[in-house]
């Protein structure tokens, strides 16, 4: 498995694969890989001849007060995980490689990005769309893999691919969790032992919401209430949002009819964690 630092190296490698008629899958990540990322790589390896994993902590998607500087990084460990999972190439550019000094073009979206995480992180999805569009242009994959963990991101990327006619299949992959239910996240490393315990309230509250949905509850407010109460019972937790939205439009719903996304963002101490369930 190779590690490429430059766009040119990636282009040359992909050109070589294309000459041989091979298909290419892309797994975009910010690194510090865990089982959640590995599940995306596994899926990509199963569906493509060659797999590229990008490892890039994208400055453009972090707000000025967010954790860009402290975001965990460990390329050696990431490379070992990618190699063991059967990836063929890691693309690990420096920020200067992706954003030259006079960089001034962005991919922005008028729908889907205003609510949920977009409310607290107003520039986030512009950064995500721009970097993913760049990665798509550099790697030109047949398929790209995104986790349902970041459900709004998955919806946004699908919409961007449709709007901008990228000829790329977007594959969504289920949330991978720790044994006790906490959704795996690179940011879980920020949690103290006490906070790690408190963080369980995210998946537990969603479990209560899911039980209501399973029992046929159609009142979205009721579901939000139960989840909110559960989270508020944990002293270390502070709610950013608890939302029930249409899974296609990401608009809030009052009555559960079609596919619904129940999404939450919760601060545990200083760490902001997200989790969700989707009812198709
Ligand atoms: P990140 O490195 O956090 O930007 O995540 C890279 C990709 O991995 C995104 O598509 C995430 O949705 C996905 N991902 C992160 N955590 C998980 C998880 N626990 N289960 C499934 N996919 C995940």
Percentage of residues of the chain with pLDDT beyond 70? 100
Q: How confident is the model at residue 196 (pLDDT cuts 50, 70, 90)?
A: very high
DSSP 64: T
Across 5-21, average pLDDT: 98
For atom 8 of ligand 1, the residue with the nearest CA is 37
205-235 pLDDT tens trace: 999 999 999 999 999 999 999 999 999 999 9
- CA–centroid distance, 37 to ligand 1, in Å, is 5
Predicted local distance difference test score (pLDDT) of residue 185: 97
The rounded distance, in Å, linking the Cα atoms of 158 and 261 is 15
For ligand 1, what atom is nearest to the CA of residue 175?
Answer: 20
pLDDT for res 41: 98
pLDDT of the residue at 279: 95
**Cross-strand bridge partners of residue 255:** 219
Q: Which long-range contacts (CB under 8 A, 24 or more apart) does 83-88 make?
A: 83/1, 85/38, 85/41, 85/42, 85/45, 86/41, 86/42, 86/45, 86/51, 87/1, 87/27, 87/41, 87/44, 87/45, 87/51, 87/52, 87/53, 88/1, 88/2, 88/50, 88/51, 88/52
Residue 32 CA, closest ligand 1 atom number? 2
If pLDDT is split at 50, 70 and 90, which confidence band does 17 have?
very high
pLDDT in tens, 28-51: 999 999 999 999 999 999 999 999
User: Ligand 1 centre from 28 Cα, in Å?
Assistant: 9
Would you call 37 a catalytic residue per the annotation?
A: yes
Q: 151-163 and 124-139 helices cross at what angle (nearest 10)?
A: 60
pLDDT digits (tens, 9 = 90+) for 84-96: 999 999 999 999 9
Q: Is 0.85 surpassed by the pTM of this model?
A: yes
Q: What is the pLDDT of residue 29?
A: 98
Select from 36, 127, 158 the residue to mutate for testing ligand 1; criterion: most ligand atoms less than 8 Å from CB.
36
CA of 88 to the centre of ligand 1 (A): 19
Catalytic choice (37, 92, 124, 159): 37
User: How many other CB atoms are found less than 10 A from the CB of residue 212?
Assistant: 18
How many CB atoms are located within 10 Å of the residue 199 CB?
A: 28
Residues at CB less than 6 angstroms from ligand 1: 29-30, 36-37, 39-40, 146-147, 149-150, 173, 175-176, 183-186
């Amino acid at each position: 498995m190779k590690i490429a630092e430059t766009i040119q190296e990636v282009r040359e490698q992909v050109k070589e694969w294309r000459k041989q008629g091979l298909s290419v899958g892309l797994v975009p990540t910010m690194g510090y890989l865990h089982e959640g990322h590995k599940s995306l790589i596994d899926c990509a390896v199963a569906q493509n001849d060659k797999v590229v994993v990008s490892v890039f902590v994208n400055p453009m998607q972090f707000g000025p007060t967010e954790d860009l500087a402290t975001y965990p990084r460990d390329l050696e460990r990431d490379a070992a995980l990618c190699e063991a999972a059967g990836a063929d190439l890691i693309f690990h550019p420096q920020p200067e490689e992706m954003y030259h000094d006079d960089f001034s073009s962005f991919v922005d979206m008028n729908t889907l990005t205003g609510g949920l995480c977009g409310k607290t992180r107003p520039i986030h999805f512009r950064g995500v769309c721009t970097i993913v569009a760049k990665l798509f242009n550099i790697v030109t994959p047949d398929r790209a893999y995104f986790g349902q963990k970041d459900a709004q991101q998955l919806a946004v990327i699908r919409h961007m691919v449709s709007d901008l006619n990228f000829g790329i299949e977007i594959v969504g992959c289920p949330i991978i969790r720790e044994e006790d239910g906490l959704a795996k996240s690179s940011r879980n490393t920020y949690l103290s032992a006490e906070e790690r315990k408190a963080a369980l309230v995210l998946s537990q509250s969603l479990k209560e919401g899911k039980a209501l949905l399973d029992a046929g509850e159609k009142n979205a407010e009721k579901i939000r209430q139960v989840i909110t109460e559960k989270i508020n019972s944990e002293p270390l937790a502070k709610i950013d949002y608890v939302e029930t939205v249409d899974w296609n439009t990401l608009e809030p719903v009052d009555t559960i009819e079609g596919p619904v996304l129940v999404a939450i963002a919760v601060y545990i101490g200083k760490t902001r964690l997200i989790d969700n369930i989707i009812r198709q």
